[in-house]
Structure 1
Amino acid sequence: MGQIVGAAIVSHHPGLMQCEEFRVLQGAGSDSDLIAGYRRVRERIAAANPDIVVLFDSHWFTTGYHLIDAGSAYRGTYISDEMPWYLFGVPYEYRGHPGFARSVEAVARERGVQSRAIGNPDLPRHYPTINVIKQMQLEAWPVVTVSSCQNCEPRHFLQSGEVIGEAIARSDLRVLLLASGALSHRFNGIDWKPNHPRIFHESNVSSVANIASDKQAIELMKEGRHDLIVENWDRDYRRVPWEAFGAHYLQMIGAMGAGACKAQGEVLSAYENARGTGNVHVWFDTERRGDE
């Protein structure tokens, strides 16, 4: 029987892919702790010893279906159409796991959930996948990417995650889950002036209210109170909103039991700004019970 051996919500923010000199200059001499945090998350992943990594990509927007990447391997050079002036020329090469992706589709068909596996080798890549693979050297494991279906309600994301969780349980795989995306996701304007000279500092997040909302969610994650996050999603988090309307987090938690999940979060980075959005790395040890 397969199992989820760990999970994390991680930032993919593209500024972290800029050269060291540029990042230090932007940060007034202080670099982002998210970068050091990648090393901390990577250590947890290696210790969990997964067979595959399932990555929920908050930029892979799809319509009509939750899609699971069923490619066997990907190789190329990435350029971002969003920020091509600095996020370009990034080589990537990693394996997929078609068998697992197809098993997710099989479970989805049984349950009437709109999830499909796509194995087209020309399927484009997105930087929430590429940046995280590069920063944490995930090439060591097969990586299966899951989309964020844009015409979904929160319950649909939870259902997508539940299907993935069932496919894991039916397998013989040790699976690591990564939700690649921000919490609050409102950008500062193009002519925005930083509130703090350290560009990544939390006070540069788009609003005081969003900072408070993000920190509330982080505290609930630390306590393993995913039930309160899920139950109050529409009131507290959808209105903020989170990146991809929380598709990455909700699918990850859906795979782990949704509101019944008690996995306590360990914060592995500072909470930081990325052009107004709230970013953090939080690790969930799925073998540690919140009631122990």
Structure 2
Amino acid sequence: MSNEGKIVGSAIVSHHPGLMQTDEFRLEDGAGRDSDLIEGFKRLRARIDAVSPDAILIFDSHWFTTGFHLLDARAHHKGTYTSVEMPWYLNGLEFDYRGCPDLAKMCQSVAEERGVLAMAIDDPHLTHEYATLNLVTKLGLDVPYLTASNCQNCQSHHFLEMGAVVGEAIRRSGKRVVLLASGALSHKFNEIDWERKSPRIFDAANVSSPENIASDHEVIELFRQGRHDVIVERFPTVYRKIPWEGLGGHYLQMVGAMGGADCRAPGIALSEYENARGTGNIHIWFEV
């Protein structure tokens, strides 16, 4: 059917709070060179502009829910955000953007048909998370956004099932949608009093362990080859134990929407692989 919706692009995207600091502070912390993730947002914006989506769906690795996958069904989002985690610099962030309630409700409808526990929530008092707001701010796109949660009592296969729900809902919606998996790869923080191995804070040498660095590079290479089948197979026994941010729910839902283990979308790195307080971060675009 010509009016079927489709996924027109997807990406794993870093959202770490350090990216929201002033240019001057990032340059100082980066030993004179900014995080490449900043330029990476511009490269990502160009990829999204090229496919002209009707909406962007963000799998938010910070919106932890329990018992249900949730979708933010509000029609409009406006307010001022201060992070409870790092309020000394991620504060006073103004946001004003459109939601996508029809797609949220379509996701709930498909989930009900399939016996997947998911709900669309339209509540004006629902809080926002910076894993969504940082992306909306840095991309600066005037399109509707839908945020999906990261249900913390899920195994890997539950995330894949919810992703498949999202993929079917997009097909029925008639919309052209870009998926953004907002989160890091390996996600083990350095201790509060850690000492840098490199003076440039973004340097991959500052990621929490050589094992995590090696694991992240392994996955990045599998992304490049489009071997999501290998990643999906290894996730419960290998990558979940690293662990990835949000148990990998942001990536697993995204790839679930694109066919799960059958997905062969190759990954194109849009930034360098960088450290953020010990976690492994990169922007990777997947050609669909």
TM-score by length of 1: 0.97
1:192 counterpart = 2:182: no
Measured against aligned partners, the alpha-carbon deviations of 1:178-234 in whole angstroms (never above 9, x if no partner) come to: 000000000000000100010000000000000000000000001000000001112
Q: CA deviation at 1:273?
A: 0.1
1:222 counterpart = 2:224: yes
Task: Tell me the equivalent position of 1:114.
Answer: 117
Task: Tell me the equivalent position of 2:38.
Answer: 35
Q: For 2:100 and 2:193, how far apart are their aligned partners in 1?
A: 43
- Runs of 4+ aligned structure 1 residues displaced above 2 Å come to none
| One-letter amino acid of the structure 2 residue matched with residue 73 of structure 1 | H
| One-letter amino acid of the structure 2 residue matched with residue 186 of structure 1 | K
Measured against aligned partners, the alpha-carbon deviations of 1:229-264 in whole angstroms (never above 9, x if no partner) come to: 001112320110000000000000000000000100
Measured against aligned partners, the alpha-carbon deviations of 1:55-85 in whole angstroms (never above 9, x if no partner) come to: 0000000000000110000100110000000
Instruction: Tell me, yes or no, if the aligned pair for 2:58 and 2:179 is still in contact at 8 Å.
Output: yes
Task: Tell me the equivalent position of 1:62.
Answer: 65
Task: Tell me the equivalent position of 2:29.
Answer: 26
Matches within 5 A, 1:3-152: 3-138=6-141, 140-152=142-154
Task: Tell me the equivalent position of 1:237.
Answer: 239
Q: For 2:238 and 2:222, how far apart are their aligned partners in 1?
A: 12
Q: For 2:184 and 2:39, how far apart are their aligned partners in 1?
A: 17
Instruction: Tell me, yes or no, if the aligned pair for 2:184 and 2:244 is still in contact at 8 Å.
Output: yes
Instruction: Tell me, yes or no, if the aligned pair for 1:213 and 1:236 is still in contact at 8 Å.
Output: no
Instruction: Tell me, yes or no, if the aligned pair for 1:201 and 1:272 is still in contact at 8 Å.
Output: yes
| One-letter amino acid of the structure 2 residue matched with residue 2 of structure 1 | G
* SS of 1:266 mapped into structure 2: strand
Q: For 1:120 and 1:171, how far apart are their aligned partners in 2?
A: 22
Q: CA deviation at 1:169?
A: 1.0
* SS of 1:61 mapped into structure 2: strand
Instruction: Tell me, yes or no, if the aligned pair for 2:37 and 2:283 is still in contact at 8 Å.
Output: yes
Number of aligned residues: 285
* SS of 2:241 mapped into structure 1: coil
Measured against aligned partners, the alpha-carbon deviations of 1:124-143 in whole angstroms (never above 9, x if no partner) come to: 010010001101113x1100
Instruction: Tell me, yes or no, if the aligned pair for 1:55 and 1:180 is still in contact at 8 Å.
Output: yes
Q: CA deviation at 1:285?
A: 1.1
Q: What fraction of aligned residue pairs are identical, expressed as a percent?
A: 58
Instruction: Tell me, yes or no, if the aligned pair for 1:79 and 1:89 is still in contact at 8 Å.
Output: yes
Unaligned residue ranges in structure 1 (runs of 5+): 287-292
Could you say what the CA RMSD is over the residues aligned between the two structures, in angstroms?
0.5
Task: Tell me the equivalent position of 1:290.
Answer: none
